[in-house]
Amino acid sequence: MRFSQIFGHTLKEAPSDAQAISHQYLIRGGYIHQVAAGLFSYLPLARRVLNKIEGILHEEMAAIGGQEVTMPVVLPADMWQESGRWYTIGSEMTKFHDRKDHDMVLAMTHEEALCNLASKYIRSHKELPQLVYHIQTKWRDDARPRAGLIRVREFKMKDSYSLDTSWEGLDKQYRAHYQSYFNIFNRCGLDVLAVKSDTGMMGGKIAHEFMYLTPIGEDTIIYCDNCGYHSNRQVADFKKPEAVKEDLKELEKVETPNSKTIEELADFLEIPESRTAKAVFMVATVQEDNETEVEKFIIAILRGDMNLNETKLANAVKAKDLRPAHEDEIKAAGAVPGYGSPVGIKGAIVVVDDLAAESTNLVGGANEDGYHLLNVNCGRDFKADLVIDITAAETGHRCIECGHVLEAEKAVEVGNIFKLGTRYSEAMNVTYQDKNGKVQPVIMGSYGIGVGRLLSCVVEQHHDDYGIKWPISIAPFEVEIVLLHDKKGTEAQDVAETLYEEFKAAGVEVLFDDRKESPGFKFNDADLVGIPLRLTVGRRALDKGGVEFKLRGSKDNEIVPVDKAVEKIKAEIERLHKEIRDSLQTVEYKD
C-alpha cells in the first residue's frame, strides 16, 4: 500500500475528546473515526489490524475444535422471552418493531440465537460435544461509553458456545478456552490475568474474566502478591478477622449526638470502628416471575470497619437490580438514617455479614435521632433472614488463600468465559436423547472476546511518546519503506519503488511512504502509525551502501545492502513472530 493513497490521514493533534492514549493514537494515526458516543468507523489501517486479530481468533478456535457460524444481529423477541432475558435486561437492550409490528431485538450477545439454532440441530448424544463460534456485531446501549474503543455501544465480539452431555465435558471445553484465551491474548501481545468473576447478566455457575491491568480500566482486581490469588473485586473473597466474642451484655440505649457516620460514632464513644455495626439500607428489585417484579427493602449489616459489596448482596438476595434506599424509604420502614439498625424494624429483609453476625455486643443505631444502642447482638436483638458474606474485599485485607495482605489494581476486561450449565438449555429446550433414549438438557458454556477492545488494549500496552508500537502479529503492515526525496537524482526513488515491488512479490505486507513530505514529517508519521519494521531509503544511506533498517521503538539502526533488504526484512519478521511464539506458555488452570 502506498501511504499517499491510504483512505484517511494522520493528525498532528488529537481531538480534545480523546483522553485515553489508545483513543488518541488510533485517531491521530488514521485508524478510527468516531461517529457518535460509543460508535466508531474503522478505517483501512484499523481494519487490517482487526483482520489480523480475527485471523488469530479463527486459528485458536479451530485448534480447540471450534466451527464457525454466523448468527444474525437482529433477532426476534420470542427467543429472548423464552430465555427470560427479555424481561430482566433493562434499557441496555434495544427493542424495536419490524414492519409487521413484530417485537425485535438487537443482539447484545448470542446465547439465545445459539440455543435456538442448537435446539433445531442437536438431537442425539452422538452429535455432542460441539463447539461453535462466530465473530459478530453486538449492540449494547451502554449508558456510558468511554475511552475510545475500550467501552463502546456497538462492537464486534468473538463468542463461542460449547455444548456437552456432561459437566466433565463442559469442564474440558472450559479449560480448553482458558488456555486458548491466554494463547490469543499473548499472540496479540497483550498481557492478561484470569480472575474469578461474577456471572452478571449471563447467569450460570462459574466464570472467569481475562483482565488487562491498566489505570484506565473500570474493573478492580484484588490480588495477592504472595500466592497469586486474584479476583474481580465484585466477587473477591478475603480472610475475615476473628470476631470478638464476649458474653452477651444487656442492650443499652445511649445518647450519641452528631454521630451519623461510623467514624463519628466510634470517635464519640471512643471505641474502634470494628466494635460497631453498620446498617446499609438498600432496595432490591426481585423477579417474582416473568411478568412481575417487586421491590424489597433490605437492611444489610456489616461490621463498622467494613464496606458493603453490592454484587455479593445482590447475588445473596437474587436481586435483578439493587440501589441505595432513598431517605423517605428508610423512614417509611421505621428506621432513622444515620441512626439505623434492624432492631425493632419489621418488613425488611435483614442480611447480615457472617463477621457481623458472629461479633458480639456491637454498637448499632437505635432508630431514634441522636441515639445508639450498646451491646446489639444478632439473633437476640434482631433476626437475620440471611447470614452470608457481603463484605467488599479491600487493600489491606488478608488473602483468603495465604493470609498475605491484598492489593488492588484497575483492569479492563478483554474476555470472559462462563459455565452456563443448563441455564439456557432448560429455558429454551436445547435437549438431546441420551444412550437410554432419555431427553436431557445440553450443558453449555459461553466464551467471549471483544475484538475492538482487544485492539485498543494492545495500543495501551504497546506505545511510547511518539505513537503505537504494534506487535508483528497484528500490525497493519509488517514493514514501512520511508522514501526520502533525493535532490541529486532519482536513485532513492528508484530503489524504493523497486523494493516496494519486491516486497509485494515476496508476500511481505509493505507500506510505502511515497508522499512528497519532508523527512521529519514522514518519520513522525511512521512512529505514530507504528509499523514494526522500517526501511529508510535516502541519499545518506545509499552513500553508505544500502538502505537503513530500524525497528520501531529502537534507537539503533543498520545499513542493509539493497539486494539483501528483502531477505533481511523476512528474517526480521520471522524473528519477531518467533519471539511471540516462544513467549506462549501453558498456564495452570485456577478455579
Tell me the window of 76-84, 123-131, 146-154, 272-280 that interacts with RNA (CB under 7 A): 146-154
Nearest distance from C-beta of residue 488 to RNA, angstroms: 9
Which of 548, 562, 569, 576 is the binder for RNA (CB under 7 A)? Answer: 548
Nearest distance from C-beta of residue 293 to RNA, angstroms: 15
Which of 19, 70, 124, 307 is the binder for RNA (CB under 7 A)? Answer: 19
Nearest distance from C-beta of residue 10 to RNA, angstroms: 5
* Closest C-alpha to 133, from 109, 149, 154: 109
- Please tell me the distance from the alpha carbon of residue 158 to that of residue 453, in angstroms, as a whole number: 11
- Please tell me the distance from the alpha carbon of residue 206 to that of residue 199, in angstroms, as a whole number: 7
For RNA, the closer of residues 237 and 486 by Cβ is 486
For RNA, the closer of residues 265 and 569 by Cβ is 569
Residues 550-569 that bind RNA (CB under 7 A): 550, 557
**Is residue 286 close enough to count as binding RNA by CB under 7 A?**
no
Residues 463-482 that bind RNA (CB under 7 A): 466
Which of 26, 50, 128, 202 is the binder for RNA (CB under 7 A)? Answer: 202
Which of 30, 204, 342, 448 is the binder for RNA (CB under 7 A)? Answer: 448
Site string (388-427) toward RNA, x via CB under 7 A? -------------------------xx-x-----------
- Please tell me the distance from the alpha carbon of residue 447 to that of residue 260, in angstroms, as a whole number: 46
**Is residue 441 close enough to count as binding RNA by CB under 7 A?**
no
Nearest distance from C-beta of residue 258 to RNA, angstroms: 26
For RNA, the closer of residues 209 and 409 by Cβ is 209
What is the SS3 assignment for 36?
Answer: strand
Which of 164, 353, 409, 527 is the binder for RNA (CB under 7 A)? Answer: 527
For RNA, the closer of residues 81 and 199 by Cβ is 199
Residue 405 DSSP class? B
Tell me the window of 42-50, 152-160, 284-292, 498-506 that interacts with RNA (CB under 7 A): 152-160
Residues 291-310 that bind RNA (CB under 7 A): 310
- Please tell me the distance from the alpha carbon of residue 76 to that of residue 105, in angstroms, as a whole number: 6
Phi, psi (degrees; rounded to nearest 5) at 554: -105, 150
Helix and strand numbers, DSSP H then E, in the chain: 16, 29
For RNA, the closer of residues 226 and 395 by Cβ is 395
Contact 413, 214 (CB under 8 A): no
Contact 139, 156 (CB under 8 A): no
Which of 349, 366, 384, 528 is the binder for RNA (CB under 7 A)? Answer: 528
**Is residue 519 close enough to count as binding RNA by CB under 7 A?**
yes
For RNA, the closer of residues 556 and 582 by Cβ is 556
Q: CA–CA distance from 507 to each of 478, 493, 503, 552 (Å)?
A: 10, 21, 6, 21
**Is residue 200 close enough to count as binding RNA by CB under 7 A?**
yes
Tell me the window of 34-42, 173-181, 377-385, 570-578 that interacts with RNA (CB under 7 A): 34-42
Strand-pairing partners, residue 441, are 431
Contact 152, 454 (CB under 8 A): no
Residues 482-511 that bind RNA (CB under 7 A): 484-487
Three cell numbers written together for 412: 479492563
Nearest distance from C-beta of residue 69 to RNA, angstroms: 21
Nearest distance from C-beta of residue 589 to RNA, angstroms: 20
Q: Which residue has the cell 445511649?
A: 254
Site string (81-120) toward RNA, x via CB under 7 A? -----------x----------------------------
For RNA, the closer of residues 122 and 221 by Cβ is 221
For RNA, the closer of residues 39 and 243 by Cβ is 39
Contact 181, 415 (CB under 8 A): yes
- Please tell me the distance from the alpha carbon of residue 104 to that of residue 436, in angstroms, as a whole number: 39
**Is residue 256 close enough to count as binding RNA by CB under 7 A?**
no
For RNA, the closer of residues 319 and 336 by Cβ is 319
- Please tell me the distance from the alpha carbon of residue 212 to that of residue 192, in angstroms, as a whole number: 5
**Is residue 16 close enough to count as binding RNA by CB under 7 A?**
yes
Nearest distance from C-beta of residue 474 to RNA, angstroms: 17
For RNA, how many residues bind (rule: CB under 7 A)? 71
- Please tell me the distance from the alpha carbon of residue 293 to that of residue 313, in angstroms, as a whole number: 18
Site string (311-340) toward RNA, x via CB under 7 A? -----------xx-----------------
For RNA, the closer of residues 36 and 439 by Cβ is 36
Question: Residue 299: CA atoms inside 13 Å, Cβ hemisphere, count?
Answer: 33
Residue 239 DSSP class? B
Contact 304, 276 (CB under 8 A): yes
Strands (E), 422-531: 431-433, 439-441, 443-450, 479-483, 510-513
- Please tell me the distance from the alpha carbon of residue 88 to that of residue 68, in angstroms, as a whole number: 29
Q: State the amino acid at position 417 in one-letter form.
A: I
Give per-residue burial for 4-22: e unless 16+ CB within 10 Å, then b.
eebeeebeeebeeebebbb
Site string (348-387) toward RNA, x via CB under 7 A? ----------------------------------------
Strand-pairing partners, residue 105, are 75, 95
Q: State the amino acid at position 287 in one-letter form.
A: Q
Tell me the window of 139-147, 183-191, 290-298, 347-355 that interacts with RNA (CB under 7 A): 139-147
**Is residue 520 close enough to count as binding RNA by CB under 7 A?**
yes
* Closest C-alpha to 457, from 59, 104, 241, 147: 147
Nearest distance from C-beta of residue 53 to RNA, angstroms: 13
Q: CA–CA distance from 306 to each of 66, 276, 282, 298, 400 (Å)?
A: 45, 10, 16, 18, 16
Nearest distance from C-beta of residue 537 to RNA, angstroms: 7
Which of 3, 6, 10, 176 is the binder for RNA (CB under 7 A)? Answer: 10
Helical H segments across 278-376, by residue range: 310-316, 327-332, 354-358
